[in-house]
Amino acid sequence: MSLDRLMRRAGPLLILIILLAALSLFVPDFLGSRNLRGLALSVTLVGTIATTMMLVLAMREVDLSVGSIVALSGVLTAVVIASTGSVTLGIVAGLVGGALVGAFNGAVVAWLKVNSLIVTLATMEIVRGLAFLVSGGESVAIPAEGFYRLGTDSFLGLNYPIWAMIGCFIVFGFVLNRTVFGRNVLAIGGNPEAARLAGVPITRVRIAVFALQGLVAGLAGIILAARITSGQPNTSIGLELAVISACVLGGVSLSGGVGTIGGVIVGVLIMGAAQNALNLLNVPTFYQYVVRGGILLVAVVLDRLRQTGSLPRLPSFRGAAPRNPDESDARHA
Amino acid sequence: MPLIEYRGIGKRFPGVVALDGVSFAVEPGEVRALIGENGAGKSTLLKILSGQYRPDDGDLLVDGFPERFASPRDSQDAGIAIIHQELQLAPDLSVAENLMLGALPARGGLVDRRTLRTRAAGVLERLGESIDPETRLGDLSIGQRQMVEIGRALLRDARIIAFDEPTSSLSARETVRLLQIIRDLRAHGRAILYVSHRMEEVFALADSATVLRDGRHVLDAAPVGPADEARLVSAMAGRTVSDIYGYRSRPTGEVRIAVEQLAGPGLRQPVSLTVRRGEIVGLFGLVGAGRSELFRLIYGASTPTAGAVRVDGEALAPGDPRAAIAAGIALCPEDRKDHGILPLASVRENIALAWRNLRARGALLQRDAEASAAREQIDRMRVKTPTAEAAISTLSGGNQQKAIIARWLLAGADILLLDEPTRGIDVGARSEIYGHLYRFAEAGGTVLFASSDLPEVMGVADRIVVMREGTMSGVVDRADATADGLLRMALSDQSSLTSRDLAIA
C-alpha cells in the first residue's frame, strides 16, 4: 500500500486519534477503563444500525425510518413477551416486525421507483405511529428477568450489546467486501443504470438491502428494550441522523458507490467520543444539539469536498484511485 | 495582432504533465483546429482559456496582453466563449431565458420580458433558427440546444469562441448548419478554436491546425486540406495509420438472433432483422433514427409493445436485460459515462461485473479467479491501464470502451450490440476496436453495431441496415453499398442532402 493510499484511507482514523488524544488530555477520567467501556456501550445502538445504513447509503439511497423501527420492535417485543410470556417469541416478533418494515421500504423504492428519502420519511411517521398504537401510547414493561440479561450480561468483559455491534461489523464488512451482493450494492450506488444493463438484479438487491436495514434496526431495538427493561414507543427520535452522521464521517458517500466498514467503525467512534466528552464535561443538553448538528454538517461538507476532489478521498471503493485531473479529456474520449 | 495567444503554456497535475510549453496564436477571422488523441491536452487548453484552470507556466495573451483569469467570469468578460460538448444550459427554462442566463434584462429588479423576447428572437433569426423563444429548452433537439449556446456567445459579443467536439451529437444537416454559422463568425472577425476528431470537418472548415500529443504541441499546419490527412494523423498518433478499418471477410453460419416485428418506444414501425453467426451488421442512421431505441428494445432495457427477439429460435422474455444476457446478448451503450461504466470502481470491478452476476457460482466473491480473469481480458483487449485496480474513470474513452467490451467477453456473451462504439475515440483505439470485432466474429460471435459515421459503417460491416426516423429504410450488402445510396435511405425523402454536403468537401 502506497503512502498516498494509506493517507487517503486513514483520513477519518487520523481525526479519531487526534480527537482521542485531545480528549484524554482535556477531559478528566476519559481514558479510564470504566469510561471506555461506557463509551463502547453508548455507541452500540448507533454502531449496530450504521452497519446496514452503510449499505443503504452506498447504494445511493437513505433510510430515515430506523429510529421508528427501533421503537416499534422494542414495543412489539415487550408486548409479545408480556402477553405470551415467551422471550423467544418476543424477539422473533421484534426482528420480523423490523424486517417487514424494511422490506416494505425497499419494495416501494424498488418497484414504484419513489425516492427513498420521501418513502422513509413517510414510514418514519407511520411506524412511529404504529409503535404508539401497539403500546397504547405508554411504555410497556417487560415481565421477564431473563430478557434483561441480554442487555447487561457480558462475555470476556464486554456486554452483549457490544458483541452484537461487533458481530454486525464483521458480518456486514464481509458482506460488503467478499460477496457478490455487497459489490452489487456498490455497483448500483456507483451507477444504477450501468449496473442494471450489466445484469445486476437491481430490484432484488434494493429490497434486500432495505429489509436487512429493517432487520438490524429491529435487533438494535430489542437490545435497547432489554437495556431499558421496557418497550418505549417514544425512544430513539432523531436516531437516523446520528447513524447517517457516523457513516458519512466514516467516508460513506451520500452520492453512493463508496463505503468501507473500517470507515464506519471510525465514524461511530468519533460520534461516541464526542458525545462522551460532552457528557463528561457536563455540557448542557441544549448545547449538545448544536454540537451534534455541527458534526453532521462537517461530515457532509467533508463528503462534498471529497467528491469535488479538493480533499484526499477517504476510505474508498476498493482500488479506487484519485480522480484524474484531466478527466474531461478521458470522459470525452 | 493575434486575438488570442498561448505562449509557452504548461500545466501539471499530480503525477501528470497535462501541457508542456504549448505556443500558438489565433488571428481575428481565423479558424484554428485543435486536434490530438484523447488525453493530448485539448480540454486542458480550453479550460485554461475558460478560466477553470490557471497555467503553471507561460502566458495566455488576449489582444496582446497577458491575462490571468481567476474565474470563468473573468474569461467571459474578456470576450471568450466556450461551446461545450456537454451543453451547460438549464433545461427547464425557456430558450430566451437560457440565451440571457446570468445577464437577464431587468427593470427595477424584475425581468424585462419584452426586451428578453425581442433580443432572443433577434439572435435566433441571425442563427437562422425558427425556434419560438418561449419554448422550454429541454424540448429542443441537441443540435438546437447547441445553437442556443452559440446564441449566448453572440449576445455577449464574444470575440474568441472555442468549440469542443461540437458535432459529436449532431445530425448531418445540423452539422452542415453549424459549419456555416462558424464560417459566418469567421467572416465577422472572430477568432475560432475548433476541437474535433472528425478530420473531414477540420479540412472543410479550418484555416490552420495545431496538433497536440501528450501535452506537447507537435505540429502546426496552415493551410490544411485533405492532402494533409496522413501527416496530421501520424503527428497525432506518433505513427502512421493507413487503413483504420482493416476489413477482413469471414464465413458466416446460421441465423443467431432474429428480431421479429419488434415495436416499442422510439420506433414508428415494427422492425424485423436477422443476424448470423460470424456476421457483423452495421446499423446506419442519423441522430434520432431510432438506432439506440432499437438496441434497448432488443436488449430489454426498455419494454417492447409488440414483437419478439429470438436467439437460436428461442423467444426472450421481453423487457428483461437479464434474460437477454443469459441468452448471450451484450449491450455496449452509446453513453458510456451514464450507462456503461461504474466510474468510482476499478477496471477489474468494471470488467468482472457481468461475469460475477451471471457466470460465477455462489454468493461469495471469487477474488483470485476474478482478478486473473480480469487481467487476462486487459491483456487480450490491450486496455491501457497502469494496473487492474486503477479507477476506470482515469482511463481514456477508448480504453473505457475496451474495458466494457472485455466485461462482456468475460461474461461469455456471443452477441454484441454496440451503440456508437467509437464515438469520441481516437484513431488508434478505433482501429484496435475494429480488430477486436473481427476476431470476435471470426470466433463465431455475432455483432450488430450502430453508427452515424458513414465511412465506419461502410468500412467495417458485412451488411448494412439503414434506419430513418424510427423505421427501417433498407438493407444493403457490403458489396452494394455506396455512400450516396446509404445516405439517401437515411435521410427523409424530401431532402436532397448528398454525401458531398455531409463531408462538406
Chain B residues with beta carbon closer than 8 angstroms to that of A322: 14, 391
Grid cell digits, residue A323: 480522480
Architecture of domain B4-237: 3-Layer(aba) Sandwich (3.40)
- Contact A75/B at CB under 8 A: no
Taking an 8 Å cut-off on Cβ atoms, the answer to whether A191 and B301 are in contact is no
Could you tell me if B173 and B468 are in contact, meaning their C-beta atoms sit under 8 angstroms apart? Answer: no
Task: Sort B147 into a burial class: Cβ within 10 Å, 0-12 / 13-18 / 19+.
Answer: buried
Highest mean pLDDT among A119-128, B71-80, B91-100, B284-293: A119-128
Q: How far is A173 from chain B (nearest CA, A)?
A: 13
| Interface test with chain A among B83, B168, B342, by most A beta carbons within 10 Å | B342
Chain A residues whose CB is inside 8 A of the B41 CB are: 326, 329
If you average pLDDT over residues B81-95, what whole number do you get?
81
Cα angle vertex B299, ends B485, B356, to 5°?
135
Interchain pair B396, A180: CB under 8 A: no
Q: Hey, what's the cell of B274? A: 436477422
Evaluate whether B419 touches B334 at the Cβ level (below 8 Å). yes
Please indicate if any CB of chain A lies within 8 Å of the CB of B398.
yes
Higher pLDDT, B318 or A319: B318
How far is C-alpha B71 from the chain's CA centre? Answer: 28
CA B456-B460-B466 angle, to 5 degrees, is 70
Check A199 against B321: CB less than 8 A apart: yes
Chain B nearest C-alpha distance from A174 (Å): 10
pLDDT given at position A316: 41
Secondary structure letter of residue A320 according to DSSP: P
Render A63-88 in DSSP notation, one character per residue.
---HHHHHHHHHHHHHHHHHHH--HH
- Average pLDDT, stretch B421-429? 79
Mean pLDDT of B445-454: 90
Q: Which chain B residue lies closest to A328 (C-alpha atoms)?
A: B43
Average pLDDT over residues B54-58: 92
Contacts of B188 (CB under 8 A, 6+ apart): none
Chain B residue with Cα closest to A194 = B339
pLDDT digits (tens, 9 = 90+) for B229-241: 778 877 776 654 4
Q: Does A310 touch chain B (CB under 8 A)?
A: no
Could you tell me if A201 lies within 8 Å of chain B, comparing CB atoms? Answer: yes
Grid cell at residue B392:
476506470
Which three three-digit cell numbers place residue B15? 503525477
Please choose, from the candidates B49, B155, B42, B48, the residue with its C-alpha nearest in 3D space to the C-alpha of residue B95. B155
Assess B42–A contact: CB distance below 8 Å, yes or no. yes
Q: Who among B85, B342, B360 is closest to A180 (CB)? A: B360
In this predicted structure, which of A132-146, B54-68, B76-90 has the lowest mean pLDDT?
B76-90
A323·B391 Cβ contact <8 A: yes
Structure confidence at residue B485 as a pLDDT band (50, 70, 90): confident
Contact across the interface for B353 and A326, Cβ inside 8 Å: no
Element of type H or E holding B81: strand B80-83
Does B354 lie at the interface with A, CB-CB under 8 angstroms? Answer: yes
Residues A121 and A64: beta-carbon distance below 8 Å: yes
State which residue of chain B sits closest to A197, comparing Cα positions: B321
Q: Is the pLDDT reported for residue B426 higher than 60? A: yes
B343, B399, B429 ranked by CB distance to A191: nearest? B343
Residues 230-249 on B with a CB inside 8 Å of A are: none
User: Which residue of A193, A322, A333 is in closest CB contact with B339?
Assistant: A193
Q: Could A258 and B325 be called an inter-chain contact, meaning their C-beta atoms sit closer than 8 Å?
A: no
> What's the mean pLDDT when you consider all of chain B?
86
In the beta sheet, which residues pair with residue B262? B271
Residue-level pLDDT at B190: 93
A329, B353: Cβ pair inside 8 Å?
A: no
Per-residue pLDDT at B242: 53
pLDDT, residue A328, reads 38
Q: What is the CA radius of gyration of chain B?
A: 24
Q: Is A204 on the interface with B (CB under 8 A)?
A: no
Whether domain B255-503 has CATH 3.90.1150.10: no
Q: CB within 8 A of A99, min separation 6: which ones?
A: A211, A212, A214, A215, A218
> Looking at this predicted complex, what is its ipTM?
0.79
**Percentage of chain B exceeding pLDDT 70:** 93
pLDDT category at B39 given cuts 50, 70, 90 is low
- A258 vs chain B: nearest CA distance in angstroms? 8
**Domain spanning A34-312, CATH class:** mainly alpha
**b/e string for A288-312 if b means 16 or more Cβ within 10 A?**
eeeebeebbeebeebbeebbeeeeb
B54 touches chain A (CB under 8 A): no
The domain locations on chain B are: 4-237, 255-503
> In terms of Cα–Cα distance, which of A77, A213, A220 is closest to A143?
A77
Do the Cβ atoms of B261 and B307 come closer than 8 Å?
yes
* Cα B387 from Cα B385, distance rounded (Å): 5
Does A258 lie at the interface with B, CB-CB under 8 angstroms? yes
Share of chain B above pLDDT 90, in %: 40
How much is the pLDDT for B87?
65
With CA atoms as reference, the chain B residue closest to A191 would be B342
Q: What is the pLDDT of residue A233?
A: 95
d(CA B424, CA B196): 9
CB contact under 8 A, B397 and A331: yes
Q: What is the pLDDT of residue A49?
A: 97
Q: Which residue has the higher pLDDT, B323 or A279?
A: B323
**Are the beta carbons of B354 and A199 separated by less than 8 Å?**
yes
B69 or B36, which is more confident = B69
Pairing label, strands B57-62, B106-107 = unpaired
Q: Is A327 near chain B, with CB under 8 Å?
A: yes
* DSSP per residue, A161-228: HHHHHHHHHHHHHHHHHHBHHHHHHHHHHH-HHHHHHTT--HHHHHHHHHHHHHHHHHHHHHHHHHHH
Q: In the prediction, which pLDDT does B103 show?
A: 78
What proportions of chain A, in percent to the nearest 5, are helix, strand and coil? 75, 5, 25
Averaged pLDDT, groups of 10, chain A, 333 residues long: 51 79 82 84 94 96 97 96 92 97 97 94 97 93 89 87 95 94 94 92 96 98 94 92 91 88 92 86 88 82 69 43 38 34
Q: What is the pLDDT of residues B187-224, one digit of tens each?
A: 999 999 999 877 788 888 999 999 988 788 888 887 78
pTM, 2 dp: 0.74
Rounded to an integer, what is the distance from CA A304 to the centroid of its chain?
20
Taking each continuous run of H as one helix and of E as one strand, the counts in chain B are 17, 22
Residue B106 exposure: Cα atoms within 13 Å on the Cβ side: 7
Non-local (6+) Cβ contacts of B442 within 8 A are B248, B250, B278
The yes-or-no verdict on residue B424 having pLDDT over 80 is: no
Is the CB of residue A260 less than 8 Å away from at least one CB of chain B? no
For chain B, the helix, strand and coil percentages under 3-state DSSP, each to the nearest 5:
35, 25, 40
**What local confidence, expressed as pLDDT, does residue B239 receive?**
53
The answer to whether B424 contacts chain A (CB < 8 Å) is: yes
- Kindly report the nearest CA distance between residue B496 and chain A, in angstroms: 32
In angstroms, what CA-CA distances link A142 with A76, A85, A92, A216, B149? Answer: 11, 9, 15, 21, 68
Confidence of residue B172 (pLDDT cuts 50, 70, 90): confident
- Cα–chain center distance at B292: 14
Interface check B14 vs A, CB under 8 A: yes
Please name which of B438, B461, B435 lies closest in space to residue B450, comparing C-alpha atoms: B461
CA A301/CA A286 separation, integer angstroms: 23
